[in-house]
Amino acid sequence: DAKTTQPPSMDCAEGRAANLPCNHSTISGNEYVYWYRQIHSQGPQYIIHGLKNNETNEMASLIITEDRKSSTLILPHATLRDTAVYYCILTTDSWGKLQFGAGTQVVVTP
């Protein structure tokens, strides 16, 4: 699976939208973009995934560029509980093994 590049950290004010970028310039046509997050000392939590189209669920929105070389995870109204490491992962098989990169440490401040 191709690799992703994410900023190591970012801060966000409580109540504001958090926009988390992810670059995946070598993504293959059959690779999905998955986002997970890991709150300190817990297991990762699934957030959202997409292939080509933008996606939205109760947690977040995922915007994928037309060329699919990058994507943005949007947390519409960040809360203190959204403080976590966010991982952008590419995979052709959602049930297959996942390769975690360093992720982005998001800190939401009051």
Q: Left if phi > 0, otherwise alpha if psi is -120 to 50, otherwise beta: which for 40? A: beta
CB of 35 to other proteins, least distance (A): 10
Q: How many Å apart are CA 18 and CA 60, to the nearest integer? A: 10
Q: Which is nearer to other proteins, 14 or 61 (CB)?
A: 61
- Measured between alpha carbons, how far is 16 from 36 in angstroms, rounded to an integer? 20
Site for other proteins in 72-91 (CB under 8 A): 85, 87
Secondary structure (DSSP) of 32-49: EEEEEEE-TTS--EEEEE
Is 98 a residue that touches other proteins (CB under 8 A)?
yes
Q: Build a one-symbol-per-residue string for 25-64: x at contacts with other proteins by CB under 8 A, - elsewhere.
A: ---------x-x-x--xxxxxx--x---------------
Which of left, alpha, beta for 68 (phi over 0: left; psi -120 to 50: alpha)?
Answer: left
CB of 15 to other proteins, least distance (A): 26
The contact set with other proteins (CB under 8 A) reads 34, 36, 38, 41-46, 49, 85, 87, 94-95, 97-103
